Structure 1
């Protein structure tokens, strides 16, 4: 990506742990996200350019489907088991869904950028420089 070979050093967290904590895939500094689910432009510790990675919309589409199915199933179960008023569903499922999507996107995007770095991924069909 930037001339340096990806390295995996003994004792450093793997891709999943790095994704959970927003760690830079090169130096493992907690610098991957600027805020929320937006990547920082580059790592403040080692200078890795995060803009060169292409995470795309894959995590958002997958999480929308997966979390939507899970929340719908839980809401149906709650309705059939307890039959609460509609406002209970709104107060319960709207915040849970929002938090699940934001946290899930953060983890999925962190995992994908870590996997791209670790595997030295490049655009398909492109020529090697």
Structure 2
């Protein structure tokens, strides 16, 4: 007898794409970072989704390392004036952070769903 059960979509693919972690079809976000109340394709309730500050912290670490490393290299190799550093590196840091924030938040929500993570509760 053939099994009609299809495996769930990859949380990495659905999260980074901003899709529903259960069906992979519906949109996860309403705006830039606001999570929808429910999936418009399968009806999954997204109230479990609470990524908190996790994605932002990882992005600041990653972007800070990359942008600061590049800025230090340019400073040592070429010694440009400080205003040129400000013109290059501040916008680059903002762009890198904003470009990574939505996919990382989607990934955090998809992994929460895949691992059935929820808020801790005290036993009574």
The alignment's TM-score, normalised by the length of structure 2, stands at 0.80
Inter-CA distance 121–78: structure 2 relative to 1 (3 Å threshold):
same
Name stretches of at least 5 consecutive residues in structure 2 with no aligned partner: none
Matches within 5 A, 1:45-124: 45-124=41-120
The one of 15, 36, 41 aligned to 1:40: 36
Shift in Å, 1:102: 1.6
Distance in structure 1 (CA, Å) of the matches to 2:74 and 2:38: 44
Which residue of structure 2 lines up, in the alignment, with residue 3 of structure 1?
A: none
Tell me how large the CA RMSD over aligned residues is. 2.2
8 A Cα contact 2:26 2:42, kept in partner: no
Name stretches of at least 5 consecutive residues in structure 1 with no aligned partner: 1-6
Which residue of structure 1 lines up, in the alignment, with residue 21 of structure 2?
A: 25
**How big is each residue's C-alpha offset from its partner over 1:71-103, in whole Å with a ceiling of 9 and x where there is no partner?**
112111111111222232222212221121122
Inter-CA distance 58–8: structure 2 relative to 1 (3 Å threshold):
farther
**Aligned positions, number:** 119
From the CA coordinates, give the structure whose radius of gyration is larger. Answer: 2
Distance in structure 1 (CA, Å) of the matches to 2:25 and 2:63: 29
Which residue of structure 1 lines up, in the alignment, with residue 7 of structure 2?
A: 9
The alignment's TM-score, normalised by the length of structure 1, stands at 0.78
